[in-house]
Every structure is written in C-alpha cells, then in structure tokens.
Amino acid sequence: MNEKIKRYFLPEEEIPRFWYNIQAEMPNKPEPILDPKTKKRLTPKDLYPLFARELCEQEFNQTDAWIKIPEPIREMYKYYRSTPLVRAFGLEKALGTPAHIYFKNESVSPMGSHKLNSAIPQAYYCKEEGVTNVTTETGAGQWGASLAYAAKLFGLEAAVYQVRISYEQKPYRKSIMQTFGAQVTPSPSMSTRAGKNILTAHPNHPGSLGTAISEAVELAMTTPNCKYTLGSVLNHVSLHQTVIGLEAEKQMKMAGEYPDIVIACFGGGSNFCGISFPFMRHNIKDNRKTRFIAAEPASCPKLTRGKFRYDFGDEAGYTPLLPMYTLGHNFTPANTHAGGLRYHGAGVIVSQLMKDGLMEAVDIEQTESFDAGTLFARAEGIIPAPESCHAIAATIREALKCKENGEEKVILFNLSGHGLIDMASYDKYFSGDMINYAVSDEEIDRNIANLDKQ
C-alpha cells in the first residue's frame, strides 16, 4: 500500500462490462410485488405499459447475477467513468482518527451526481423500444437533471415533476433541466388529477417524492408513446448503480485495502445499493464481515423507525404494492434541504436486506449533516450535496469511534453528489436559521394505521 497516493483511477477498459444483480444471490429473495386490486403477484408483462420492457425484465430477474451492459451505454459511461476513489487524508487529519477513510467521488459526472448511471440505461432502453417521450419525478433535482440530459442524448422528450419545496429551494436545478430541453413542473400541480386532489385537500402542500411520482405516472399512462422512468427505489435502478461499487472494488485493491465499513446516504436506495451491493456479495458468498450503513435524515426515518409492510410507492396509490420499510405513502416529510432523501419508503431489495440483518441504518439530524459537510469541504476541498452530507456525518461518527478505541479500520463512503447548486441551503446553515425536524412516534403510528384502514 502506497499511502502517498490520493486518488485512484481505472483505465477505460476496466470500466465494468456487467451490472451486478444481488437478487440472484440473496439468502432470502425479496417478497413479490403485488397488484393492489387483486393482491396477486405481478410479472414483467404487467409493468410493460409503464416501463420499457427490458427494464421490466431486469426488475424481476432473480436468477442472473451478472447482466451485460449494452455497448452504447458503456460508451456513454466513458464520458465520466471511472470516477475516482479518493483517500480522505484531510478529513482523517481533521478528525485525528487512525481510521483510513476513502470516498468514491460520483460528483464528477456531467450532472454532478451518481444519478446518470441509471438515467443513461433507462433512456437507452426507451429509445430502443421506439418510445418518444419519458416522464419522471425528482426531489433535489439531481435525478431530473440526469434524466433530462440522458433523454436529450437519445432524442427523447422529457417531462419532470419536481417536488415543490425543492423547486423553490433549488432553482438552478430547474434551469439545468430546462437547458437540456425538459419540461419542469412543481409538484403537486394542477396538471394531473392526482395533483389536483392533493392540492384540494392540502392547498399549501410542500410536495414529496411520493406526490411527484403520482403525477409522473399519471402523465405517462395518459400520454401516447410515453414511458415512466424512476431514479431510485426499484430493483433495476439499483442494478445500474452497481457500476459504482464494482469500480470501487478494483480501486480498493489498487490501494491495497478492503473496507471494514461501507456507508452511503439513503433516500430510496440508489447510491447506497450502488456502492454496497458489490461488496455485500462477499459477505454473502465469502463470509466477509463488512458493515453496511445507510444514513437517512431524522425527519424521514423509514429504515430506523418505519414498518416493514406492503405499501404504495406513491401518494395517490397508482403504483403496485411494494414490500418495504415505510412511513406510509401519505407521509409528508418536513421541508428539509436534503430533497433527494425525502421519500417515505425504502427499496424492495434494501428492505429485505435490512430485515435479514445484512445491513444497518442510522438517522442524522439536519444540522449534524451540515456540520459534517462543512468540515469535509474545509478538509477535502469539495462542497458536498446536502444528501451526501448524511453519509459524511455517519462516516465521522465511525471514524471518531475508531479514534476512541484506537482502531485502524477502513471506511468507504459514497460521495453521491456535489453541493455547488445547493448553496442556498448552506446559507441557511451559516445564518443559524436551519431547523431540525423531529417525527413523533404518534405520527408514524397514525400513518401506518391509515394504511391498515385502506
């Protein structure tokens, strides 16, 4: 191991040629997705009207551990991959920890986050099927920006519903989407029946990812030659994101180390799955003992305080029933600045892994996350997205435990995106106006009870 090396890159020929499908090797397969009306198990064909067919097949694939990346997608990956693995010497020094801290820097993609890893495949498969229009939702705007860019690459028209509070807090992400030709609408809106119903009941609704999903799904189902795309939660999205961890495996080998702990922030699960699943397969197959920690906001704590049960992926109840840890699809998160993490449920795969004890979760208060992000920026020179700050906060917690115990553990976290378009959030933090939001047990219980009534 050469401790003088700061960054590790892979040559183009080492960019992954296959995605890793953890479903094929999980000790317990995820429970089936159900039709909300009949409660019967869905098949790929049931989702053909909504998603590109190849994505539906990937969603249900529980037999093939490795799925080949089409060459046109891999060629587009070469525009920004491999992303660097970075040794956080500055952060280690600032903390005075014996831990070795590494981060996978996904902020270097053209859109500034990991979301492009799935946007490109989804747009490609839609184009191959002859689709002309795509719809989606977005929280902070990282996914919406990535989908807008990918749609333009493949000649598709994109319509994006952005969570209203993020639309207002992060106007430049809207501008990025518009730069690539996407139509951007704050959600909830009056352009769909779902949006009208929500606004009629709650005129000042700040929006949520569940709300925006309802509107995007409705538009896709009522627009000719249009498909819906999704930036997180679903299995095929997690699959595409494994390029992150597959690269990191090779880069950690270059560094002569292997992670004791892998950490990522958690909204629906895309970047957590991407960094963790390739390493988790060694726990499953080779009896490794790496810990995997999902860092979620304390204002939206589905993994730490939610319930495992069937629930809708959206607020209006348009989606299939998903077996997941949830706060209830009618849960409205507080107006935190980590818009990409304000989702009521966890992905099906992650929920099963959590249930089986193969991973763990922590919740982070908003001010702690910005404390961590600011320290990281000053130590490493990169301003992280508010979402990524949660992963950094969890990393700092573990690094300080190493300091206290004198342990030289290897910690790897995913820097899922930069915060250069999130400076209004940092302004709130520096001015002392940032608020920590607590969710009461009574509110969670009430939401889950409402699900039971439905």
pLDDT 10s digits, 313-366: 888 888 999 999 999 998 887 777 666 787 899 999 999 999 999 999 999 999
State yes or no: pLDDT of 10 exceeds 80. yes
Q: Greater confidence, 40 or 450? A: 40
Pairing relationship of beta strands 66-68 and 18-20 according to DSSP bridges = antiparallel
pLDDT score recorded for residue 209: 81
CA distance 76 to 151: 13
**Please, which contacts does 31-35 make with residues 24 or more away whose CB atoms are closer than 8 Å?**
31/323, 31/348, 31/352, 32/323, 33/320, 33/321, 33/322, 33/323, 33/348, 34/310, 34/320, 34/321, 35/320, 35/321
pTM equals 0.94
pLDDT score recorded for residue 78: 96
Q: Tokens representing 426?
A: 């940092």
CA 437 to centroid of chain Cα atoms? 21
Using the structure block, give the residue that is written with the tokens 């953890």.
22
- What contacts 414, CB < 8 A, 6 or more positions away? 103, 104, 106, 114, 244, 263, 264, 265, 271, 272, 274, 275, 388, 391
State yes or no: pLDDT of 450 exceeds 80. no
Q: Of 26-30, 119-123, 205-209, 422-426, which gets the smallest average pLDDT?
A: 205-209
Q: Greater confidence, 171 or 124? A: 124
CA distance 310 to 49: 22
Residue 235 CA: distances (Å) to CA of 77, 208, 221, 277: 20, 21, 21, 12
State yes or no: pLDDT of 216 exceeds 70. yes
CA distance 204 to 174: 21
Task: Provide the CB-side half-sphere exposure for 412 (13 A, CA).
Answer: 30
State yes or no: pLDDT of 2 exceeds 60. no
Q: Nearest 10 degrees: CA dihedral of 231, 234, 239, 245?
A: 70
pLDDT digits (tens, 9 = 90+) for 195-215: 999 999 999 998 888 889 999
pLDDT digits (tens, 9 = 90+) for 389-399: 999 999 999 99
Q: Tokens representing 95?
A: 């903390």
Using the structure block, give the residue that is written with the tokens 């994109």.
158
Using alpha carbons, select from 114, 414, 400 the residue that is nearest to residue 293. Answer: 414
Asked if 134 contacts 126 with a C-beta cutoff of 8 angstroms, the reply is yes
State yes or no: pLDDT of 180 exceeds 60. yes
pLDDT digits (tens, 9 = 90+) for 230-245: 999 999 999 999 999 9
Report the 10 Å Cβ neighbour count for 132. 14
pLDDT score recorded for residue 448: 81
State yes or no: pLDDT of 229 exceeds 90. yes
pLDDT band at 447; cut points 50, 70, 90: confident
The rounded mean pLDDT for the chain is: 94
pLDDT band at 266; cut points 50, 70, 90: very high
pLDDT score recorded for residue 3: 63
pLDDT score recorded for residue 439: 84
pLDDT score recorded for residue 339: 65
pLDDT score recorded for residue 137: 94
Instruction: Report the percentage of the chain scoring pLDDT > 90.
Output: 85
Whether the upstream peptide bond of residue 82 has omega within 30° of 0, thus cis, is yes
State yes or no: pLDDT of 1 exceeds 70. no
The phi, psi pair for 299, rounded to 5°, reads -80, -10
Task: Provide the CB-side half-sphere exposure for 47 (13 A, CA).
Answer: 23
CA distance 238 to 311: 19
SS3 string, 106-131, reads HHHCCCCECCHHHHHHHHHHHHHCCC
pLDDT score recorded for residue 384: 98
